[in-house]
Copies of this chain bind each other. A is one copy, B any other.
Amino acid sequence: MKQISTKPAILSRGEFEAIFRSVSNWGRWGAEDERGTLNYITPQHIRDAAALVRSGQSVTLSQPLNMVAGPDNPRPSVHHMVKMYDLPLSPRGEPQFVGDFLGTEIHGDSRTHVDALCHVAYKGQIYNGQPTSIVTSQGAIRQDITAYVNGIVGRGVLLDLPRLYGVKWLEPGHAVTTDELERAEKAQGVQLREGDIFLFRTGHHRRRLELGPWDNSYEGQGQAGLHPSTMRLLHERSVAAFFPDGDGETVPSNVEGVAYPIHAIQIAAMGMACADSLQFEDLLNVCAQQGRWEFMVVACPLFIPRGTGSPFNPVAIL
């Protein structure tokens, strides 16, 4: 594969916090707000998104539930059969039924999910200045995933960074800059704007499919993601939601003393609806065929009261 040289600027904690403050949406939609940047999405945006449905196709953006332990999945999901076709017929007669059980942690790499705003705290504060005490052993009493229960519905825009460079994926450590995002926009002829659901592709999932899962943490090989300076762009453009194929973070990070700066800013400062570990391999083909990178997205977390997130299966409808 081509070598891309990238020397991302390392930010001091002060520089990081300056970004944090400058893009913060605390108080913007009221002290009680729990929807954060989803407030950008107006009914008009939803109508416009629906108008993008032209070919009548829908495409999953989810990975299959990962039930195999590995370097990026230390606590795998479980799927158990609870009833099979081996039982005697009910005295009531036919039919027969089977059933199963699903057990899964909600967060975690290689598990397609969406975060609630309570999921992240920076310096002891959650989005909108809420204290960490809103998360109890009985779940989150505010800022839980039910804030998104009517779905995340809007225009999706896919920026495919590997395409910009003609590579299959960005290598671990690559921190995508504002300049690169804007070049990707230009190359693809599309632009992020108010209320958009931003699908950010580093090729994380493609790399995983081809090379196998890897330890993408600080202890391992790391991963490609965004540079914290891009947060200003997302803020200016009033992006509503962020759907990456990894989790958006560059590992190791580009901020001294801050390990996952993208989550801190997106979720705790901006109140952005952020997902994790999507896959765009199917969508990519459809987009290429149709020569367009915008479409309707519908993404519905499960209705989990007090949940800090949810597994989900977002779809692009084109």
Contacts and interface: CB of A to CB of B under 8 A. Distances in A.
Interface of A: 42-47, 49-51, 53-60, 62-65, 67-70, 73-76, 78-87, 90, 92-108, 112, 118-124, 132-133, 135-140, 146, 149-151, 153, 218, 257-260, 263-264, 268, 296, 298, 300-315, 317
Given A81-B138, A95-B121, 12 more contacts: A43-B55, A43-B56, A65-B304, A78-B101, A84-B135, A92-B257, A95-B120, A99-B119, A102-B105, A151-B313, A298-B315, A302-B311
Nearest to A257: B93
Contacts of A64: 146, 303-305
Nearest to A91: B259
A175 to B, nearest CB: 16
Nearest to A45: B56
B259 A90 contact: yes
A151 B311 contact: no
Contact of A95 (B42, B85, B268): B268
Given A69-B75, A75-B76, A92-B218, A57 B46 contact: yes
A307 B99 CA distance: 9
A87 B259 contact: no
B119 A98 contact: yes
Contacts of A65: 302-305
A259 B51 CA distance: 45
B112 A303 contact: yes
Contacts of A257: 92-94
Residue with the greatest number of chain B CB neighbours at <10 A, chosen from A96, A118, A149:
A96
Nearest to A77: B304
Contact of A120 (B45, B62, B96, B312): B96
Contacts of A306: 79
A30 to B, nearest CB: 20
8 contacts: A46-B317, A60-B150, A65-B305, A81-B137, A101-B106, A102-B302, A103-B104, A298-B300
Residue with the greatest number of chain B CB neighbours at <10 A, chosen from A59, A68, A304:
A304
Contacts of A45: 56
Given A87-B138, A149-B60, A104 B107 contact: no
Contact of A309 (B100, B123, B307): B100
A245 B153 CA distance: 23
A46 B42 contact: no
Nearest to A136: B86
A191 B51 CA distance: 24
